Structure 1
């Protein structure tokens, strides 16, 4: 009987301890309530606080449908987290919104020049204004233009003295600009004017490659005198007055207005010694946070990046935390940021869009890096360098996952950003994400520390839309061993074999992805990127670039309408490039060494193979028709009879992007362009280039009209209004005969040259117009 009694007691104890305690939040609640189903609390912060009183229990916070404003970042810390598990979830089938904005009903009065004004007292100047859920632009110059490629509108004279002379008091305004080399962006806060009306400002720390701001791509905002366009607004904090030019067709009397006041909604923070464990957040929308661009100050080692360690949700010092099936949108900064130690966390099945900075970021602590340096040109002398392998401690993200997320329209304000960013982390799995419409990389790895990442089954396209010289997938490898001078690296690695692997201690794998880049490369391994395995990928337009580095194995990839771009390789790099399908001949730059093996590839034209073999590589490679099943729809699986298989190429799984049914319905797909074999044979065909249509010179009449000595060239036959070609002042009837110092004999050659140089962003061109030769400098982007 005693044994039976003890058994019953044990069972009851286990049942009681396993049963979850539930805290209820409702818009109809009261924070003085207990948080029960019949007496819910009203705010997200109160619900979290109520949960923390339960020790060693499983707690569920269930949130009723509705919008819950947060006026201060909610924090869950290891010192105040006594729970065994915590789940924060939306009530079944209800939409729950946690917002970083405060809502107001405003009383408007007519002002002048189509403006209205409303008195409102705010503790600090608001950063973003939403009207009925739609973001309105601050007063800016030039005006917001949804069709403009960079920053939705830029002007060379944005900060000219002629312009600033019109501004009575621009203090508090902002300057936004691209980097001079289009390698990201800069942002500045205006502090005043000098006696000559020249602007005074602070900032520019957002990019780790200091330079001047771009002369063309710049704009200003938050300046009263620029309030001149429907939808624009300005808040005068001294007057406590909001000025607005109402959007066309709006009804101010019934409209709801919300101001963003905080950049971060939720922080979950533990430590390496005492992590916060087992928190799951599911089914919740996180929206409307303030922009964080002026807080982006911390350099990420020697990469081009600087960072702000904050987001709508920040995880730091956590284990086994999950953010699943949530929506993140209309955010001024990043969506999710995993900072320093985080282990076995999962970010999955989320929709992340309309984001000011990054989608998901994994960034470790530089204190875990041996002999760190923090600028491109800086380094620790080899004699003083810590030669131990790997990290000093475990204060970095490790074995975390970003899987099945739909991420698009990120980097709306911060251009040095990515859909998924990885820095000072180890063994991160990035799988089955769909990422598109980003200003720079879709997926970025800032340096080698510490490798082991798997990047697989992602669909990444419409990338590098607002910047240049980058990739849909981009990496740097400016690790301990790396220097800008090739000769120094060659000598040091020869003297200290293995030094190149001290930081990237495990291979980084890119497999079964589809990449597409607009102003760079589909896959771009830049300065020093080392220890990569790249296979089973489809590159749709930008090709694959390997700058100097070591131990890269690139095989079994399909490169459509482009080629392999090897740049400035090192001696004895151990690099391999084999069993790939390519459209055009290689495009090498300053290649003195060619790695371990470059062979057994397949080219879509004999001419491309012959040209490549003149580089003394690819002796056993083949050429011909690949035999794709349906290239015009993007189905690049091969027919069983394909000659490509003779090279050792193997067909592979092309199930790219999100598989979650909810997200798959919402996801876009990349544009599939016709296959161009880049052969030198002149064919009767029309191509689209820079938004205009070009054809070969085929008749005596065409030759005569243009005043050509032969049939060489590409004739512009149709010019689309607003196209890049029109902006470059090209005209119908122009014949392109030279591009980037390369002779253009046909439209195929035009496209071949363009695909090799498009990453530069601009080029010199020679055209025949009105039977005269004319040289021009053109932009390849806008």
Structure 2
């Protein structure tokens, strides 16, 4: 028989009563605590508490008396506005604790990182209203009736625009800047010059020449400056001219807002963002937070963190902010389950530093300013860490031991059955799921789409063992470029930005390749689609992968540099295999795959261990130098229009060793999430055979325009300008090499082969300077 728990309520009279709590103990001495966001007019029995903190305190007291007994804190429907970030530290609980909605049928429970406002609106001008507001904190989001509004911006918000919902080259023009009286506190958001993520800046003033003083730009770990076209400004008062736009004049304590026609502002629910983190579980490897679960809760209104995203990750293109609406930092066996993360300003869930057996499952994550789920270890666990792309390792004195040197990283954690979409609304160097400095992370049965960069990203080889399976990832790399629906980098201890140095390093010390990438990453049974890159993109030395039984819907599969990649039994639709600049003795394998066009090699001198037993669309597409046992012909898919790419009996694919795998198990499995999830766009199948590239003769060398994303990626170019050298004869008059891109001859810029020929004709036999792009950087030849 249950009995009502009675205990001392301390300091209740000193606080405003905002939460009502009652508790019951079961015969096994576990405890259930019921919390409501607002006190009812009358209570019969139970205990009145003043805040959620008292509920947590009660759980603490109970587990001190009954160690190991579980506690359930049950939230009744409503919105809970916190006075501060809810921090749960190691040792506070002495047994399992679950925070959960009291009933799925009883209504939604929201824990807000924002503050509700009671405002008196008055008409100002041009359809704009104003209200007095005095808050002591910075905020970046305004919500009216639970819909995020638009901070005053130029150009105006356009839901159909590809980049940032609207960009303009003149966003920072002197003429426009002159129209701003006080731009201080405004923001600039821009793509990276090479479209590798984004930059964010705060305006601090105006210089004498009319240009802006800025702080920021550290959010990308490969500095090249802002894209000249894709940028916009926000939080500028003079740009408040469109419906749903707002601006807060902090100096004069006034909020301005232009509502949609018909909006009743006097009755509208108004919330502003406040805290960057809503819930934090904070421990460490010596004393972790254990056995805490959050279940069935909606987390909303956390503040934007783009100006705090500044910590670089090991020579990847990323910088990160170690936080999210929910932050797990130093935990064991903690779970975030069946929650919704709605319109938060930064990352949704961040699993940082030491964590073991964290489980992120069944969640609905959407409209986040940053990433969906991040697993990121600490550099203090990395041997010989380097942080910027162009940094070169020094072998003498290097710590060459294998694996991590501390336990300060996520290990044996899971992200499964999550629906993740429209993340990266502000930060473009983001991902649906991000992994860095971690081991044995399982990413399974997630549906991820409508993201500006990768759906799933692995930042480097430390330390592998990841299992990526049964995910449905599509509509990816929508705002950036040179990337994949699944993307990875290597850039581990053996990797040099200078290719010649790297060739010599791996030839002398081949064993070093697996000292960071100690465990094999497995990609299997996934469906990937990328429209502005590769469906699977293993870039810059990604090593130790087994990739099998995946469907690539559009962008093909790329392996750049790297070692020990086995790719087999995959289906690559409307595209092919893209090997880029491989090493001698890479030990790469590509076999038993179905491709639908010829291979797309760039800079390939060596072809790995086995490239054979694959199926091509026709004989013209076959790579006769490698695939001596491969076949060509119609694979006889069962029902490609319905996404069933299993092959029928009698298919030539079966003769080259291909084996069917399930086509109905991609993505989320929870019925509620399956109902919400969008469907992946399926391709109309076409046969693509080899096409001749426009190769021209230049002084005896072979040269061509940059025509494909693959050529641009292989050279590391920020754009498609230049003349690509295919072959260079011995004794050539300039010290160029095959794979170089000529950008300038003499004083003449070179955007293509035609301009190279024109510059050559202009200078005649005169020997002039040559500016090239090599090792992913611009250089002038001696």
Q: Is the structural similarity TM-score above 0.5?
A: yes
Specify whether residues 147 and 266 from structure 1 end up closer, same or farther in structure 2 by C-alpha distance, changes over 3 A only: same
SS across alignment from 1:157: helix
Matches within 5 A, 1:456-495: 456-495=469-508
SS in 1 for 2:638: strand
How far 1:124 moved relative to its partner?
A: 2.2
CA deviation string 1:361-390 (max 9, x = no partner): 000010000010111111330012101111
Q: Which runs of 5+ in 2 are unaligned?
A: 1-24, 697-706, 723-753, 756-782
Q: What is residue 63 of structure 1 aligned with on the other side?
A: 75
Counterpart for residue 177 of structure 1: 190
Change (3 A) 1:496 1:44: same
Query: Aligned residue pairs: how many?
Result: 679
Matches within 5 A, 1:417-436: 417-436=430-449
Q: Give 1:498 shift.
A: 1.0
Pick the aligned partner of 1:297 from 299, 304, 310.
310
- 2:682 pairs with 1:672: yes
Q: 1:591, 1:239 → 2: CA distance?
A: 64
Residue 19 of structure 1: how far off its partner (Å)? 2.4
- State the Cα distance separating 1:491 from its structure 2 match: 1.9
Contact 2:194 2:719 in 1 (8 A): no
Query: What aligned pairs does 1:649-728 form with structure 2 within 5 A after superposition?
Result: 649-654=658-663, 655-679=665-689
Q: Aligned-pair distance for 1:53?
A: 2.7
State how far apart, in whole Å, the 2-side matches of 1:570 and 1:318 are: 40
Residue pair 1:628, 1:639 contacting (<8 A) in 2 also = yes
Which of these residues, 629, 647, 661, is aligned with residue 656 of structure 2?
A: 647
Distance in 1 between residues matched to 2:357 and 2:621, nearest whole Å = 46
Q: Within 2, Cα distance between the matches of 1:476 and 1:107?
A: 52
Q: Any idea what SS the aligned residue of 2:125 has?
A: coil
CA distance in 2, matches of 1:413, 1:292: 9
CA distance, structure 1, for counterparts of residue 215 and residue 644 of structure 2: 51
Change (3 A) 1:104 1:741: farther
2:517 paired with 1:504? yes
Matches within 5 A, 1:271-286: 271-286=284-299
Verify: 1:363 aligned to 2:376, yes or no: yes
Q: 2:148 and 2:609 mapped to 1: Cα distance?
A: 54
Distance (Å, rounded) in 1 between the aligned partners of 2:495 and 2:721: 33
- 1:97 counterpart SS class: strand
Q: CA deviation at 1:40?
A: 5.1
Whole-Å separation in 1 of the counterparts to 2:588 and 2:424: 34
What is the aligned partner in structure 1 of residue 201 from structure 2?
188
2:366–2:420 contact (8 Å) kept in structure 1: yes
Query: 1:26, 1:41 within 8 Å by CA — same for their partners in 2?
Result: no
TM-score by length of 1: 0.84
Residue 39 of structure 1 corresponds to 47
Contact 1:460 1:515 in 2 (8 A): yes
Instruction: Classify 1:761/1:675 alpha carbon distance in 2 versus 1 (closer, same or farther; 3 Å).
Output: farther
For residues 383 and 288 of structure 1, the distance between their equivalents in structure 2, rounded to whole angstroms, comes to 50
In the TM superposition, residue 756 of structure 1 has moved relative to its aligned partner by 6.3
Could you tell me how far apart the structure 1 residues matched to 2:165 and 2:100 are? Answer: 36
Classify 1:564/1:345 alpha carbon distance in 2 versus 1 (closer, same or farther; 3 Å): same
8 A contact 2:59–2:93 mirrored in 1: no
CA distance in 2, matches of 1:380, 1:559: 36
Q: Which among 210, 214, 218 is matched to residue 201 of structure 1?
A: 214
Q: What's the TM-score once normalised by structure 2's chain length?
A: 0.84
Secondary structure at 1:522 match in 2: strand
Alignment of 1:127-166 (within 5 A): 127-166=140-179
Aligned to 2:638: 629
Aligned to 1:333: 346
Given that 1:59 and 1:83 are in contact with CA atoms closer than 8 Å, whether structure 2 keeps it comes out as no
Indicate which of 329, 333, 336 corresponds to 1:320: 333
1:19 to 19, 29, 32: 29
1:445 partnered with 2:458: yes
Tell me the residue number matched to 1:524: 537
- Do the aligned partners of 2:598 and 2:690 also contact (CA within 8 Å) in 1? no
Distance of 1:58 and 1:249 partners within structure 2: 50
Q: Secondary structure at the match of 1:607?
A: helix
**Residue pair 2:195, 2:718 contacting (<8 A) in 1 also:** no
Say if 2:377 and 2:437, in contact at 8 Å, map to a contact too: yes
Give the 3 Å change call, closer, same or farther, for CA 36–670 of structure 1 in structure 2: farther
| Cα distance per residue 1:386-444 (max 9 Å; x no partner) | 01111001110000000111111100001100000000000000000000000000000
Task: Give the superposed CA RMSD.
Answer: 2.3
Match of 2:560 in 1: 547
- Paired with 2:498 and 2:391, the residues of 1 have a C-alpha distance of 13
